[in-house]
Chain A
Amino acid sequence: MPKYAMVIDQRRCVACMACVVACKKENEVPPEQFRTRVVESTEGTYPLLRMELRSELCNHCDNPPCVYNCPTGASYKRKEDGLVLLRKNRCVGCKSCLAACPYDARYINEEKGYADKCTFCEHRIKEGKEPACVATCIGKSRIFGDLDDPRSNVSRALRENHHEVLLESAGTKPRVYYVKKFSKPE
């Protein structure tokens, strides 16, 4: 049984936004809404500066607050692969999940009246393809695969590099990992 996860190798991201547009086209995301974004932040004062480029998306948490806070059972964590998904026909658009998500990963599809978010391109995984953002990532900064397979790209990336998750203290146990540094700390 696969355990899907994504690793973002931030060193290799150039904030080119290919992932953002590919995701929107793949998943018919409405105008002005996004399932993923790239955040740039720079610390320091001229000329001693440090830049971070961070792709953000649904973390497909193992401890997902959006699922716990969904009053209708629309949001769920799929048992077989751990994806956090949504039964659209059960969603009433109450926005509980939007408020519960500490990662600002969800939006309401106004036209259709339900909440929506990244699915790790579940429909593409089924066809044996990578998520659209990963497939088009110019820097190969986004890495996708099965944590249970030690030979997968994600397993290897996590083995070889020091990594972090976003808001670890929130206790959400994210499945999106961030590689920032060049090797494991001493």
Chain B
Amino acid sequence: MTKSISRRSFLKISGATTVGLSVAATLPDKFLLWAEEQGMVKPTYTATLCEICFWKCGVMAKSLNGRVVKLEGNPNHPGARGRLCARGNGGTGLLYDPDRLRSPMIRTGARGDGQYRKASWDEALNLVAEKLAAIKKQHGPESVALFTHGTPTDHFLPLLSAFGSPNVGMPSFAQCRGPRDVGLELTFGETIGSPERLDMANSKVIVLLGSHLGENMHNSQVQDFTEAIGKGAKFIVVDPRFSIAAGKAAHWLPIRPATDMALVLTWINVIIAEGLYDRDYIGRYAEGFAELAKAVEKYTPEWAEKETDIPAAQILETARLMGKNAPSVCIHPGRHATWYGDDVQRTRSLGILMALLGSWGRPGGAFFATNASFPKMEAKPFPESRETLNGGGFPFAGAEGVTQAIRSSTIDGKPYPIKAWIVTGTNLMKSIPNQKETLEAINKLDFLVAVDVMPFDTVMLADVILPECSYLERHDALAVGKGKSLTVSLRQPVIEPRYESKPGWWIAKELGTRLGLAEYFPWKTYEDKIKSQCQHWGVDYEQLKKLGTITIADTAAPFITASNPPVFKTKSGKIELYSGELKEKGFDPVPQYTQHQRPKGGEFRLIYGRHAVHTFSRTTNNPELHELCPENVVWVNAGIAKEMGLADGNYVTLVNQDGARSNPIKAKVTERIREDCVYMIHGFGTKSKALKKAFQKGADDQGLVTRYAVDPICGGTGMRVNFVRINKEFIDA
């Protein structure tokens, strides 16, 4: 019907009278934009928070007659500073994606065959509650596990805790930041936070080790990164691939994959041997220097050259560049740190390097989070639960849980059975390595319920699917930011939920009520909860609604000064260059290098990364973003391609060491990568037919990660330990 109204006929209608627009709620974007141009409709702006990725930038959403037409960065928000990345700009693509989950669904066919019937919310919620209650009765509450990522966690983790289960697993730990956070905690007593507290805009030298900022689009961090470029900072980029960041670098070090620690330990040795470290800082704040110096003696540039394939002279030169510019050197500790299974130790070595340069707590290095916080709200305490199994027996597993430990307990029932999964905001098939194991676990479950916006691969394996509305249609927990200053930001709906989708808080509360846990949700709407929180915190809610973000004044103390001495929450109260805690648990107290397996002839190490327009597997179906990057390609070194007779754009399949075969994927023949590895963007090769744009586009890197190296310290799954062969498919692009 909307198509039939042409611009001209609208002119006729509205030319006579201007009342036409009050009925225009269903008119298309372009029509409304045109009408706005004519001054007939005034746009409204709503401040809210993005959820296209975990950076959660402040957004000003522009809507016309109830339709969201444009998203812009909120200048008040520290993560956005008035700007949004491509994904943030494309957020309306999620809101108006025709493939969105529209109503609750109950599985009618076999698991995985995609057969579902629509159900009412009442029926679906009753069924979920009934199943969970039955499992609780038979096996205990701890046999229900939650896998989660993003803001749904704020609603479903309290539900899980109230239900009586401690078993939560977030891929953000064991498949991502875990080893980094643990490594920094062991060194400095705290981690670097998210957004990472790096004072990059003021750095003179920035070191990126396997981090491809720019392609890895973390809004304010990339803003700082480019600010540093503008100020003439020098970049040392360690990456087997000539990344965008490498393209900006004074030193690109195309390292042999899996030898990063050899390089970092050698840098440490050079910096100590040449006296380039900050003696005063180390003397005051660190302990274990003598042990460190002795333990890294053997890592000479000449040795490292053989190991890493980086010339000894360049290792020396870059070490000196850091030393000369200390402490304004930013050693980026990375984010997705699960590479080779010794990732805690690698991050420790990066932390030690930061400490030697004196850059932790100094301008141009890493800054301290504000000490200020909001007063705690009183809440009903959760019931005692049985001991969690989500630590997987790893001595330093974090509270986010080790996902694959829950997975293996689901399979073998040890130490106790896991019978049901609740999955919210994470696509486990794409996020946890070895899909066979994940499927095996899912097939053992009595019950799987998924809460999400889109029919991702994992959602389409669920017994009951509950459609959450997108971030532009809901309230979520207040986002408290502890960067330089204390901030609080609000997510509020820009429009009412589309279709029959519902906010996560509503779904959790309704389930809670049906499970007899209503007293844990003692508010009518989430806005009520937010309002009372604001009152408790002394934050003006009306102001927050308008501004989106409020920064609490005078809460910043980012750097070490005489009146702001650093506090290290380690056992010794100092920076631990030598870790007694690790020694106690039987690990190397000072990081030591171990050589990892290398590819055999004809094999390539599979490495993977991010694209600036995509977030994991969550945006590949977004029409606005799909258009810019519809499928991934596999990067193959030009020399190797020539040997193989492979041309740019030829389709290939990749087969890994265990015989796992990828979808056909286009080869990108390029000088921008080493000969011993291939690279692809993570998150493609969707198997869910319900994602009509993304279905079967590109290849799934996780499908080729059948092997993973578990970090014995924290349970992180190193996923860059798979080798592939390239098979030509003889299909031209």
Contacts and interface: CB of A to CB of B under 8 A. Distances in A.
Given A31-B623, A47-B254, A138-B219, A17 B628 contact: yes
B29 A14 contact: no
A55 interface: no
Contacts of B88: 18
A84 interface: no
Contact of A28 (B33, B222, B248): B33
B89 A11 contact: no
Contact of B222 (A24, A25, A135, A138): A138
Contact of B248 (A11, A18, A132, A135): A11
Interface residues of B, number: 55
Interface of A: 9, 11-12, 14-18, 20-22, 24-26, 28, 31-32, 42, 44-47, 49-51, 53, 123, 132, 135-141, 182
B532 to A, nearest CB: 35
A44 B215 CA distance: 21
B69 A25 contact: yes
Contact of A46 (B33, B84, B225, B639): B639
- Chain B binding site: helix, strand, loop or mixed by DSSP? mixed
Given A21-B624, A22-B84, A46 B254 contact: yes
Contacts of A50: 247
A20 B223 CA distance: 17
Contacts of B72: 22, 135-136
Given A14-B612, A18-B86, A53-B247, A46 B674 contact: yes
B83 A12 contact: no
Contact of A42 (B232, B612, B670): B670
A31 B622 CA distance: 12
B387 interface: no
13 contacts: A14-B222, A14-B612, A17-B613, A22-B84, A25-B69, A28-B30, A42-B242, A42-B670, A45-B638, A45-B671, A46-B671, A46-B674, A140-B223
A18 B85 contact: yes
Interface of B: 29-30, 33, 37, 69-73, 82-90, 92, 213-215, 217, 219, 222-223, 225-227, 229-230, 232, 242, 244-248, 252, 254, 612-613, 623-625, 627-628, 637-639, 670-674
Contact of A138 (B90, B223, B252, B673): B223
Contacts of A21: 86-87, 89-90, 613, 624-625, 628
Contacts of B92: 25
Contact of A16 (B230, B612, B627, B674): B612
Contacts of B222: 14, 16, 138-139
Contacts of B248: 11
Nearest to B83: A136
Contacts of A31: 623, 627
Contacts of A45: 638, 671
Given A18-B86, A26-B70, A46-B637, A53 B625 contact: no
Contacts of B87: 21
B247 A51 contact: yes
B639 A14 contact: no
A14 B214 contact: yes
A16 B254 contact: no
A15 B214 contact: yes
Q: Name the 8 nearest CB pairs between A and B, nearest first.
A: A14-B214, A51-B247, A139-B226, A21-B89, A17-B86, A16-B612, A12-B226, A28-B30
Given A25-B624, A135-B83, A141 B226 contact: yes
Contacts of B638: 45-46
Contacts of A26: 70
A136 B229 CA distance: 18
